[in-house]
Amino acid sequence: MDLLFHIGRYFMLMGEVFSKPERLSIYWKRTVEEMDLLGVKSLGIVSLLSLFMGAVITIQTKTNIDSPLIPQYVVGFTARQSTILEFSPTIISLILAGKVGSTIAAEIGSMRVREQIDALDIMGVNSAGYLILPKIIATALINPFLIVISMFLSIFGGWLAGTLTGIISSSSYIQGVQYDFDSYIVVYALIKTVVFAIVIATVSSYQGYYTSGGTREVGISSTKAVVYSDVVILIMNYLLTQMLLL
């Protein structure tokens, strides 16, 4: 029952969010600010994670398939496939849900408990649209860039780890990365990324927007934002994979 209530209220909120904006120029300005806050400021953590994950994938693949029957380039190939198919779009989105989702819920939630959302409503501003729409557009636009950067860095991290430790030669790694490349997997990854971005922005905004109480509740909303975004991302990941790859 509770779940149905939240799903219903979530879609009603989205109805408000996507109703006509008051001033497009103001919404656009807010979107650019959000792209900076939610996207550009996540670049550091995304880069760091990607480099290390790529490195670990490469070393693990190498140690697991260390057989003379399997060609060397398989390591690079595996690093590329797992990075593009799953690691960059899904794992990084889960990480972003933690960082961006909690930021969004905390910001909107504290505006709610400090009557600032009421103030917007009283002015006649569509508070849901004004606060949430720029966040959705910003994450949907900027996350694909973050994920593409993550893909490159992860594959680069694998190369770095492989060549520095000497477990694989640079040329066979690169051969593997280029082997049998089907650009559809990038399309698949980016579709997932955009869907996950929308999940993060909307689920977290929902949690923040319906916060009631005080600062303690803002904390709770923030945690819920991350947990529910993660759960929805995992479910969507399964559904999209079934739809797009089978």
What does each C-alpha distance from 181 to 14, 59, 77, 185, 244 come to in angstroms?
38, 21, 9, 9, 17
**Min dist. Cβ of residue 110 to other proteins (A):** 9
Residue for token pair 């989702």: 101
The footprint of other proteins (CB under 8 A) covers: 22-23, 26, 111, 114-116, 118-119, 121-126
**Min dist. Cβ of residue 141 to other proteins (A):** 21
CA angle 133, 44, 99 (to 5 degrees): 45
- Closer to other proteins at the Cβ: 124 or 166? 124
**Min dist. Cβ of residue 35 to other proteins (A):** 16
**Min dist. Cβ of residue 37 to other proteins (A):** 10
What does each C-alpha distance from 125 to 31, 117, 221, 226 come to in angstroms?
17, 9, 24, 28
140 burial (CB, 10 Å; 0-12 / 13-18 / 19+) is middle
- Closer to other proteins at the Cβ: 138 or 161? 138
- Closer to other proteins at the Cβ: 116 or 175? 116
**Min dist. Cβ of residue 18 to other proteins (A):** 14
Distance of alpha carbon 108 from alpha carbon 129, whole angstroms:
12
**DSSP string spanning 55-111?**
HHHHHHHHHHT--TTS-TTHHHHHHHHHIIIIIIIIIHHHHHIIIIIHHHHHHHHHH
- Closer to other proteins at the Cβ: 44 or 124? 124
- Closer to other proteins at the Cβ: 10 or 130? 130
